């Protein structure tokens, strides 16, 4: 498998050690042609997981992200439960971590266009032969996984309905198929985001590349960036797109 797609367990990076950019990919690389292709993701998500770890995270997992995420859920507590959407959730630990560890009521929806990823997460949620069903951190919390194209969330999400939207590596994957697709993904996220809500894109892409893209496509919203990590030697970024608070 090409270096750009190297999967290291339990986390993976799209950059395989070197920073990638939304523009200027190496022409003809596997990363260029396939990362926006659902069939490739079905294959990757069907890859067996090592040992007893039931989730697989790109970049980093819930443990590393929770310090940033929890204050947003605390803030959204008045909405009880806070509605959270993870676009391109894959088989990551973000949704399950929020559901099982958040002490406030949360209503979490993970969507991915890969039916393989969605089936895996549903079996994890409901429990299977080896594992018990997941238990919520708050009795009023909810977790669902649905197959959906994050570039068209119309069938699963109504306008302005989520307080927090998470995108960990999904813009990065979609942008490999061209920036118009990534802009469509962003536009859908902003459509379903509450006017007081926050979209967080987690990525290893440099701010000098990502920020201009986000600023241009998120007019009327406030865009900022925070450094995360380093985790296992790599510094990541949380790109925040926020409405009025």
Instruction: State the residues that interact with ligand SAM by CB under 6 A.
Output: 14, 36, 41, 57-58, 88-90, 92, 112-114, 117, 149-151, 168-170, 173-174
Cα-based angle 112, 165, 102 (whole degrees, multiple of 5):
100
By beta-carbon proximity to ligand SAM, the closer residue of 107 and 112 is 112
CA distance 156 to 185: 14
CB of 127 to ligand SAM, least distance (A): 21
Task: Output 80 or 226, the one with its CB closest to ligand SAM.
Answer: 226
The answer to whether residues 156 and 109 touch, using CB atoms and an 8 Å cutoff, is yes
Shortest CB 245 distance to ligand SAM, Å: 25
In the complex, the smallest distance separating the C-beta of residue 116 from ligand SAM, rounded to whole angstroms, is: 8
| Among 109, 124, 133, 112, CA closest to 54 | 124
- Residue 124 or 174 having the CB closest to ligand SAM: 174
Query: Whole-number minimum distance, CB 149 to ligand SAM, in Å?
Result: 5
Question: Cβ 153 to ligand SAM, closest distance in Å?
Answer: 9
When the beta carbons of 58 and 99 are compared against ligand SAM, the nearer one is 58
Give the nearer residue to ligand SAM in terms of CB position, either 48 or 139.
48
């Amino acid at each position: 498998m090409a270096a750009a797609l190297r999967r290291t367990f339990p986390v993976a990076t799209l950059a395989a050690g070197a920073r990638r950019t939304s523009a200027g990919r190496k022409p003809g690389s596997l990363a260029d042609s396939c990362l926006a292709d659902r069939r490739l993701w079905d294959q990757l998500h069907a890859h067996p997981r090592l040992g007893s770890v039931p989730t697989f995270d790109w970049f980093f997992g819930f443990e590393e992200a929770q310090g940033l995420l929890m204050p947003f859920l605390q803030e959204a507590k008045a909405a009880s439960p806070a509605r959270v959407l993870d676009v391109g959730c894959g088989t990551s630990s973000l949704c399950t971590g929020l559901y099982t560890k958040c002490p406030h009521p949360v209503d979490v929806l993970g969507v991915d266009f890969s039916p393989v990823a969605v089936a895996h997460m549903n079996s994890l949620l409901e429990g299977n032969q080896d594992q018990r069903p997941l238990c919520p951190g708050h009795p009023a919390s909810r977790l669902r996984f649905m197959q959906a194209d994050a570039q068209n969330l119309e069938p699963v999400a109504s306008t302005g309905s989520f307080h927090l939207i998470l995108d960990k590596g999904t813009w990065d994957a979609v942008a490999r198929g061209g920036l118009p697709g990534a802009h469509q993904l962003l536009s859908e996220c902003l459509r379903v985001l509450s006017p007081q809500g926050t979209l967080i894109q987690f990525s290893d892409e440099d701010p000098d590349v990502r920020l201009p893209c986000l600023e241009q496509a998120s007019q009327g919203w406030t865009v900022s960036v925070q450094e995360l990590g380093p985790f296992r030697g790599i510094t990541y970024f949380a790109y925040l797109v926020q409405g009025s608070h």
